[in-house]
Amino acid sequence: MFRQVKRRTAGRRNFEESNNKKLDYDLPKLYSCRLSFYDLPPTREITLEEFEKWAIDRLKILIEIESCNARSKSLKEIESSIRGLLLKYLPLSENQNIEERMKDHYSHYILRLVFCRTEELRKKFIKNETILFKVRYNSLQPREQQEFIELNKYKLSSWEYVTPQEKSELFDKLFASSYLMLKSHFLSGGENLTYDEVKQHVLIKENFIKLPFEKITNLVGTRSIYLHNGYGYLPTSLQLNLLSIEFQENLSLQLMKTFQTIPRLEEDDRLLPLLNNLSKSFSSFKYDTEMDPALISDINATSITSNSISKHFPLCAKHLQNNLIANSHLKYGGRQQLGLFLKGIGLNVDEAIKYWSHQFTKGGSMTVDTFNKEYKYNIRHQYGLEGARINYKPWDCSTILSKPRPNKNEYHGCPYRDFSIDKLVSSLNSMGINDQQELNSIVDDVGRHDYTIACTRVFELTHKSQIKNSQDSHINHPNLYFDRSRLLERGQNKEA
């Protein structure tokens, strides 16, 4: 295995120094609530495998949040987008499951090491962790929320609950002060409440806390709360903002401290590459292709050119196939990109050879013999049947974007990056996107170089009628686009 001792010291020292004082606590207390400000660093040993696995699992969730965020999803939408992922990779159940809480705790601290190293990474990490914190706070039972606040009293000592009597005495003022902020709070959650509905809500549902105005200067400056005698009155719905500011500030401070201790971590030659890899994979996360034979029975050399299959292709694959059909040829980059994509959707090696040979010879400019001599090997190679016998995986978006851009008569790459705006818009038109505002939002994404976000948006727009609740997620792989599209179609057929 590996040297447990060294790993332990390396990690431990960093965690501890990042908190700057000697800590004395035991596990039940540390994990007594499923939500955490992560104030206390972990001290127990874990294996290198756990170290990596836990970090990657948490990373998957942060990546999804990042992607939702880039598409300006509301907190509610993000919640539903990551619900499944959370259950799978980072569950935190209500019962005292120490294992789960430990994984959450450790993975957070490991990613601190990963993300503390540049300003940009720190910002991303803080932003996404804060959203995760909010999502989790919202999923707590009200009882747990109170327990959590109780547990963190030492941070939030200045919180004081307003009695029902005081609330009813001050009601008009409390309402007039908080109306606009509550209104936009609900709006960001997708609920458009009327003036009277907000009033009812404040009357019935909102409790208020009061705290020294110095703690909430941003709300004071915008006149978003009621102020009396040096105290600001904050409705329950907005208390999460306050908690998350606390969380954010805390994390930002801790990340800087971690950053300052990182050089000492480099003594451990096995951790650094691991951390480097993790931070790299944040921007290019690998999509695993898992194939179910039952789902690929209709994939063969002829069906893939039919509309019933190719309508599920993302624009890059469509573009490649269209040009292959039109020119009876594709250059190397295009063959690689399309070939592996087709492999990913379930086209087996025999069907692949049939497909490519037909396409290359149908125009009459190439004989089957030439094809077999010059191109067959290449296809078998893709399937790991020749050469190094590597089972090549379909390219994900970041691989596609990292390859040289297509030259004239080349069609690989990412259309969102490589097309002129006019060409892109007319391609989008032919996919059924005609609304000017929708087109603009895609062009905006492209302008920001957020190509996968543009592609995800296109997916959402072209599947509007099938997507019921926004359980979808960021598309960073052409095969994910295809699979998800087919899945939606199957779901619809089942219903019908």
Partner 1 sequence: MPVEQFEDESINKGSKKPSESDMLYYYKRLLPFRQIFQWLSHSPKPTKDFTFREFAYEHRSGAYQRYNSYTSLEDFKQTVINANPTRFEIGAVYKINPKDRKNLPKSVMKPVSKELVFDIDLTDYDDIRTCCQGTDICCKCWKFIQVGSKIIEFSLRQDFGFQHLIWVFSGRRGAHCWISDIRARNLDENSRRSIVEYLDILGKNGNKKSIKKPYHPHIERSFEILKNEFNNIVLTDQDPWFTDSTMSSDSKNWKCVDDLLSFIPNKELSKELKSKWQKDIHSTSKDKWEDINTIASKVLKSKSEVNYLNDAKKDIIIYFMYPRLDIEVSRQIIHLLKSPFCIHPGTGNVCVPFNPFKNISDNKEDDEYGFNPLNSPNIRDIQNELENYNKGNNELHDWEKTSLKPYIEYFSHFVNELTKEELKKRSRDNENENNLEF
- Residue 116 assigned as binding residue: no
- Residue 68 assigned as binding residue: no
104 vs 206, which CB is nearer to partner 1? 206
- Residue 397 assigned as binding residue: yes
The single residue among 213, 262, 265, 393 that binds partner 1, judged by CB under 8 A, is: 213
The single residue among 93, 118, 163, 218 that binds partner 1, judged by CB under 8 A, is: 218
**Quick count: other Cβ atoms within 10 Å of Cβ 187?**
12
The answer to whether the beta carbons of residues 472 and 81 sit under 8 Å apart is yes
Using CB under 8 A, which of the segments 13-21, 227-235, 287-295, 469-477 binds partner 1?
227-235
The single residue among 227, 240, 272, 349 that binds partner 1, judged by CB under 8 A, is: 227
- 223 near partner 1, judged by CB under 8 A: yes
What are the DSSP calls for 172-204, one per residue?
HHHHHHHHHHHHHHHHHTT----HHHHHHHHHH
14 vs 177, which CB is nearer to partner 1? 177
For residue 218, the minimal CB distance to partner 1 (Å) is 7
Using CB under 8 A, which of the segments 11-19, 127-135, 214-222, 471-479 binds partner 1?
214-222
The answer to whether the beta carbons of residues 131 and 78 sit under 8 Å apart is yes
- Dihedral sign for Cα atoms in the order 358, 360, 362, 367: negative
The single residue among 72, 229, 436, 437 that binds partner 1, judged by CB under 8 A, is: 229
222 vs 372, which CB is nearer to partner 1? 222
Sheet arrangement for strand 208-212 = 160-161, 208-212, 231-235, 226-228
Using CB under 8 A, which of the segments 37-45, 74-82, 218-226, 311-319 binds partner 1?
218-226
CA distance 56 to 65: 14
151 vs 220, which CB is nearer to partner 1? 220
- 276 near partner 1, judged by CB under 8 A: no
180 vs 291, which CB is nearer to partner 1? 180
Which residues, 158 to 177, sit near partner 1 by CB under 8 A? 173, 175-177
The single residue among 32, 184, 217, 306 that binds partner 1, judged by CB under 8 A, is: 217
The single residue among 53, 117, 228, 393 that binds partner 1, judged by CB under 8 A, is: 228
**122 closest CA partner among 269, 267, 262, 266:** 262
56 vs 225, which CB is nearer to partner 1? 225
Name the 3-class secondary structure at 289. Answer: coil
- Dihedral sign for Cα atoms in the order 129, 85, 494, 300: positive
- 208 near partner 1, judged by CB under 8 A: no
Take residue 401 and report the two structure tokens written for it.
Answer: 């974007």
CA distance 220 to 214: 9
- 231 near partner 1, judged by CB under 8 A: yes
177 vs 473, which CB is nearer to partner 1? 177
The single residue among 4, 222, 277, 429 that binds partner 1, judged by CB under 8 A, is: 222
CA distance 107 to 420: 42
CA distance 305 to 328: 13
For residue 219, the minimal CB distance to partner 1 (Å) is 8
The answer to whether the beta carbons of residues 188 and 75 sit under 8 Å apart is yes
The answer to whether the beta carbons of residues 231 and 213 sit under 8 Å apart is yes
**86 closest CA partner among 109, 62, 116:** 62
Which residues, 179 to 198, sit near partner 1 by CB under 8 A? 179-180
Which residues are 233's β-sheet partners? 210, 226
Taking the mean position of all CA atoms in its chain, how far away is CA 390?
29
- 249 near partner 1, judged by CB under 8 A: no
51 vs 175, which CB is nearer to partner 1? 175
The answer to whether the beta carbons of residues 414 and 399 sit under 8 Å apart is no
Under 8 Å CB-to-CB from 231, ≥6 apart: which residues? 160, 210, 211, 212, 213
For residue 238, the minimal CB distance to partner 1 (Å) is 15
The single residue among 193, 220, 262, 366 that binds partner 1, judged by CB under 8 A, is: 220
Q: Vertex 221, ends 218 and 222: CA angle to 5°?
A: 90
Helix (H) or strand (E) holding 408: none
231 vs 282, which CB is nearer to partner 1? 231
Binding residues for [4Fe-4S] cluster: 316, 397, 414, 455
Binding residues: 316, 397, 414, 455
Q: Which residues of the shown chain bind partner 1 in the complex (CB under 8 A)?
A: 173, 175-177, 179-180, 213-214, 217-218, 220-223, 226-231
